[in-house]
Structure 1
Amino acid sequence: MKFRHAAMVVAILALPVTAQAQSTPGDKAEAAADTAPPATLTVSGSATIASDYRFRGVSQSDREMAVQGGITVSHASGLYAGVWGSNLAGWGTFGGANMELDLIGGYKAKLADNATLDAGLTWYMYPGGADNTDFAEPYAKLTGTAGPATLTAGVAYAPKQQAIGKWYATGADAVAGVYTSPGDKDDNLYLWGDGALAIAGTPITAKAHVGHSWGQDGLGPNATAVAPTGEYWDWSLGADATWHSLTFNVSYIDTDISGAEATYLRPSFSKGQDGSGNIAGGTIVASLTAAF
């Protein structure tokens, strides 16, 4: 695993989103809540429909629409646990059924009035897949705010596991069912910077993201991979428009994985897994999210 560019990504700048609180005036219950202690447990969630599901720049829904949703239970201590799911297609199925189900748990600590540290673990599950389909990935991210701007820097490191090992050297081997290195285990490192800038007097928030992956440079036991070409960049630029609990987002998403560079991974790494169509090329993704 190569980590020589890690410091470059840690330093990436991202501008923040500021939360906009909503209230209903004239309510006695609300007035009482101002002096009451915070609830021990809070539940939040969201439901999204998107024109494509891009995970680190690569389509997980075969460049088709995705329906997603999640729910999180948070404790006043900072501990939280949640679940998130999305439909999948083609490359994104990761050897399982056409669904991704993530179990998430972690701890969020307030370091200062404008700084938060969040650390936890995501367990990526693909129901209906083989035993070596699922994998775990610990993560940590630091978020700081300054007025309408926020910077988030994060790291996710999946230790060596079969699901992200290099079992096939090429897509042709995967089609033939010939393992290059059966049982291989590999790890994966992802560093990223996120942010947004709330535009004063408008419901618009400009957003940016950049990330870098280091992975197995090949295909896993299910002829897919988290970092298919071993090392690549992904980035996006976009904006949110928020109205009450609804958020509409439009983003341009891209990677530096060219069609030529990914040729040796085909037909697995392609739209429909038929050898045609770059699923890591630049695209515009639109989504609508309802939060509750």
Structure 2
Amino acid sequence: MPSTTTIFAHILIAATSLIAAPLAAQAQSSPGVWLDVVSDERVRGLSWSDGKAAGQIYVDVPIEGPFNISAQATTLRGAVRHGGADAGFDLAATYSDQANLVRWHGSVVGHVFAGGQGDLDYVELQGGAGTTLGPVDVDILASYAPSQDTLGGSNFYRRIEARAGIWGTPVTVKAHFGRSSGHVDDILKSERLRPGGSYNDWGLSAEYALPIMTLSLGYSDTDIARDQIRFPASAAHHDAAFVAGAHFQF
């Protein structure tokens, strides 16, 4: 079996080819590039960077009409949750559109991990819809990873989130509530994304926009019970935490 690094190299080459083609064909469509630095990389209430500071770069490339492809790279700092991986890469193809007041999207996402031990990569389907209610944007999102050996089963995540700007200020506030569940084939492997089994997560954050960047401060928590976690390595970094960050867009 090829190593994770080899798999990533192949995917990266393919992604680069996909990105180059539309850029050459559509010079008028410029890619978007974002850079983030956070005190802890939290995903669905769980730390993916072992509670350490992390950096992230995201590139979004429009293709034709409502289609786009994107790539995201995140430093994971040898995260135990992901087999000691040093970095994680998300490669996605997305279709997004809007009908009247409802916006929606669907994506296929490949999660690739470099520098970790064992098979770690997995594929996930994502979709969501949202609308604007007065000053508030509301979105309902769902992600489903079909049963895969690297996850010890399937994983189903759904989430509702809202965000609103505070009138007359550069501040935006956000809140979310999510739930993770799924089928279990291997108890220990399923602890990777669902320590202790099915759980809820929630968060509240504020962003302050400046001319060159956006600063953020967020609160994250879950209802995971430590005494229900079967795999000790996944027991850390799921409790309440404050996360600070800086976001740059180019």
Which TM-score band (shorter chain)?
A: 0.7 to 0.9
The one-letter code sitting in structure 2 at the alignment partner of 1:79 is F
Once superposed, what is the RMSD of the aligned Cα atoms?
A: 2.1
The residue number in structure 1 matching 2:76 is: 88
CA distance in 2, matches of 1:238, 1:95: 29
| Higher relative contact order, structure no. (Cα contacts within 8 Å, ≥ 6 residues apart) | 1
Residue 243 of structure 1 deviates from its aligned partner by 1.5
Q: TM-score, normalised by structure 1?
A: 0.71
Give the alignment of 1:1-292 within 5 angstroms.
41-89=29-77, 91=79, 94-95=82-83, 97-112=85-100, 114-129=101-116, 132-165=119-152, 186-215=153-182, 216=184, 218-220=187-189, 225-262=192-229, 264-266=230-232, 268-270=233-235, 278-292=236-250
Residue 289 of structure 1 deviates from its aligned partner by 0.5
The one-letter code sitting in structure 1 at the alignment partner of 2:165 is A
Residue 83 and residue 202 in structure 1: after superposition, are their counterparts in 2 closer, same or farther (change >3 A)?
same
The runs of 4+ residues in structure 1 deviating greater than 2 Å are 38-42, 89-93, 128-132, 215-219, 258-262
SS in 2 for 1:98: strand
For structure 1, the 5+ residue unaligned runs are 1-37, 166-185, 271-277
Residue 84 of structure 1 deviates from its aligned partner by 0.5
CA distance in 2, matches of 1:63, 1:98: 14
Residue 146 and residue 196 in structure 1: after superposition, are their counterparts in 2 closer, same or farther (change >3 A)?
same
Per-residue CA deviations over 1:169-226 (Å, capped at 9, x if unaligned) read xxxxxxxxxxxxxxxxx11100001121111100011110110000338322xx9511
CA distance in 2, matches of 1:53, 1:197: 23
Residue 95 and residue 124 in structure 1: after superposition, are their counterparts in 2 closer, same or farther (change >3 A)?
same
CA distance in 1, matches of 2:187, 2:151: 9
Please identify which structure carries the higher helix content. 2
Percent identity reads 28
SS in 1 for 2:114: coil
Task: Pick the structure with greater CA Rg.
Answer: 1
Residue 61 and residue 72 in structure 1: after superposition, are their counterparts in 2 closer, same or farther (change >3 A)?
same
**Would you say how many aligned residue pairs link Structure 1 and Structure 2?**
223
Residue 95 of structure 1 deviates from its aligned partner by 2.2
SS in 1 for 2:150: helix
The one-letter code sitting in structure 2 at the alignment partner of 1:191 is R
Q: TM-score, normalised by structure 2?
A: 0.83
Residue 42 of structure 1 deviates from its aligned partner by 3.0
CA distance in 2, matches of 1:118, 1:78: 9
Please identify which structure carries the higher strand content. 2
The residue number in structure 2 matching 1:31 is: none
CA distance in 2, matches of 1:99, 1:129: 9
The one-letter code sitting in structure 2 at the alignment partner of 1:195 is A
CA distance in 1, matches of 2:52, 2:117: 25
Conserved? CA contact 2:112–2:120, under 8 Å: yes
CA distance in 2, matches of 1:244, 1:118: 29
